[in-house]
Amino acid sequence: DARVTQTPRHKVTEMGQEVTMRCQPILGHNTVFWYRQTMMQGLELLAYFRNRAPLDDSGMPKDRFSAEMPDATLATLKIQPSEPRDSAVYFCASGWDLEQYFGPGTRLTVT
């Protein structure tokens, strides 16, 4: 049963530190998405890739967030420097033709 995996599952860090979140999409899927979920904002799309090419990252704070897909088995989301307002659950999802399969998420707490 293929699944999207994400690491780490939980991360606690101090403000100003760099945070890197990793995602392994389901093999064969051609789109990868990064979402952020908070109680106040719901599900926000941060960035997405198709065939590893970034298509839209307009949802990301450009000065501190970056998303890359160095190969078909790895997508990364970096925050540098992190701030307390970045505390949220970050989901990666992969898919084919709009149907999306979510990973378990990384719960980030920035103190």
Closest CB to another protein among residues 25, 105: 105
Beta-strand relationship, 5-7 and 42-50 = unpaired
CB of 74 to another protein, least distance (A): 19
CA distances from 31 to 62, 63, 75, 87 (A): 21, 24, 11, 25
Q: Which residues make up the interface to another protein (CB under 8 A)?
A: 31, 42-43, 45, 48, 50, 55-56, 91, 93, 98-105
Tokens of 19: 């945070």
Rounded to an integer, what distance in angstroms lies between the CA atom of residue 104 and that of residue 111?
22
Closest CB to another protein among residues 27, 58: 58
C-beta separation of 76 from 23 below 8 A: yes
CB of 103 to another protein, least distance (A): 7
Closest CB to another protein among residues 56, 83: 56
CB of 111 to another protein, least distance (A): 21
